[in-house]
Structure 1
């Protein structure tokens, strides 16, 4: 019976984290309201503190969880036993720029300002920095897996920064040309 209760508590906690993450990606950290998150998770507001010591703890965990899930998605889309290694970077870039609901947008772009040192707690800033590091490591791993990729280490850094920057500019301006141009440049340079 104790195990079942623990499993349910873990599921409830993850639902709360998922709802907070989707809210943060859609509207930033300021959009996170404990009462709304708990309602969306199908739980009572009073139960929040059974799972988290503070709203900040939830926001930090949602940031880390969002990055971890996105890294898994990147790997699943780019590196697969059913697809050749050649073209892995191209698949990643296409997936990165594919239209997605705002709640599934890139956490680097969605949380960048909120996680900046002048706006965030040390814990949120650390979670964000670790997430960005995981993203770049995954980007590098996928590029090295792709036998058709000829980018040097320096070019990988520039390509990664250009990809994230173009995504941010496309999202902020509503003009998809930024993403389209970078995608075309990255896909062309990786083959």
Structure 2
């Protein structure tokens, strides 16, 4: 059976999109090839005509997820006057907490990435460095570049832990409080470096 030109590329793209979401939602360990292919509406047997291994798919799916987060952050920055606060509020929002499949790779997968291949870890590291630079650039210019990067690093590490805790607890009120307190702490830290 012959397919239209571009069919294989479109199918590969569908697999990557499904994997990008499923990895963030369920984790790398819980996302088997058979389940990913079924979620994409494809058979397990077709996987190897698109990817050489599960690791190859994970690399591409994480690259896709990182690009989605980059686009999300860019949209938040572009749509708001107080760009720093808008990013913090978007990241520590109930929506982000409740939809890990469309959210931050670090918040969903950091512990698993730490145990993954050097290629995946390098890609993840580059994205974290980029996010630190973006956030540092939104902090008060009255602080030194080193102070802004230091605070940006602390905020990224803190918000990643906060979103993980907010997702992990089984008490919705506590989860909301973690998010609210996290926002207040980040805004306070940002104000403190300009004092």
TM-score, normalization by structure 2: 0.79
* Contact 1:25–1:103 (Cα < 8 Å) also in 2: yes
* Contact 1:159–1:186 (Cα < 8 Å) also in 2: yes
Q: Partner residue of 1:20?
A: 19
* Contact 1:93–1:183 (Cα < 8 Å) also in 2: yes
Structure 1 distance, partners of 2:72, 2:187, is 19
What runs of 5+ residues in structure 1 fail to find an aligned partner?
none
Is 1:54 the counterpart of 2:53? The answer is yes
Root-mean-square deviation (Å): 2.3
Structure 2 distance, partners of 1:94, 1:159, is 12
Aligned-pair CA distance for 1:138: 3.0
Structure 1 distance, partners of 2:151, 2:15, is 39
Q: Partner residue of 2:187?
A: 187
Aligned-pair CA distance for 1:38: 1.3
Give a deviation string over 1:110-155, Cα, whole Å, max 9, x none.
1111111xx21222222222232233233234x15xxx67664132
Aligned-pair CA distance for 1:103: 1.4
Is 1:115 the counterpart of 2:110? The answer is no
Structure 1 distance, partners of 2:134, 2:8, is 31
What runs of 5+ residues in structure 2 fail to find an aligned partner?
none
Give a deviation string over 1:44-97, Cα, whole Å, max 9, x none.
2222112111011001111121111111101101224xx43xx01111111111
TM-score, normalization by structure 1: 0.80
